[in-house]
Chains A and B, each alone.
Chain A
Amino acid sequence: EAQVTQNPRYLITVTGKKLTVTCSQNMNHEYMSWYRQDPGLGLRQIYYSMNVEVTDKGDVPEGYKVSRKEKRNFPLILESPSPNQTSLYFCASGLYNSPLHFGNGTRLTVT
């Protein structure tokens, strides 16, 4: 089954404790992206990747890192999480300029 898999689905952590949210897709897509969803703000892009070893900032990249060492994986790294990063995160993949496939989301709470 074609899918984008994010883990974990729920995460509660404390300020400053490094964490990684994993994202994996099995559709051989070149393009992958991370979004965060906040009330009243819709979905905002954090980082995206056009292919292996090619990443670029989206609209809200501060406080986040990504890597794309393999085509299928695109982890989101928060080196020192802060409460304003409490949000619902979505990973997506697709062929460029085609509809994206989204994962089911990761709800992160930073206390």
Chain B
Amino acid sequence: DQQVKQNSPSLSVQEGRISILNCDYTNSMFDYFLWYKKYPAEGPTFLISISSIKDKNEDGRFTVFLNKSAKHLSLHIVPSQPGDSAVYFCAATNKLIFGTGTLLAVQP
């Protein structure tokens, strides 16, 4: 039973446009969420996080939104760049339960 779900296996956007990656979770006890980015042949690297006491956290081009009532979070990348092409995982603490990942392709 997947507690953290990423229903879009892949996403393709044009350079300069917005990328929106979505994540749903089932456990209302989760209180901390993270996004990781993974390039081929490398381990995941931390991108941005959000605590459940907030509904938005911003870091440069990356913004994470949390909708607790819908048990949904999203990652916005604006503007998207070709170097953003990677697999993105959302995760929920405490045991870092990961989603299945979304492959983002940013077309030049």
Contact = CB atoms under 8 A, between A and B. Distances in A.
B46 A97 contact: no
Contact of B43 (A45, A96, A104): A104
Interface of A: 4, 33, 35, 40-45, 48, 58-59, 90, 92, 96-97, 99-105
A105 B46 contact: no
A58 B43 CA distance: 19
A70 B18 CA distance: 45
A44 B32 contact: no
B33 to A, nearest CB: 11
Interface string B73-108: 000000000000000010101111111110000000
B22 to A, nearest CB: 14
B62 to A, nearest CB: 14
Nearest to B100: A42
A90 B43 contact: yes
Given A42-B98, A43-B98, A45-B96, A97 B32 contact: yes
A90 B44 contact: yes
Contacts of B97: 45, 59
B89 A43 contact: yes
A92 B43 CA distance: 9
B21 interface: no
A49 B98 CA distance: 18
Q: Which 8 pairs of residues, A with B, have the shortest CB-CB distance? A: A102-B43, A99-B46, A42-B100, A43-B98, A42-B98, A102-B44, A104-B43, A103-B43
Nearest to A105: B43
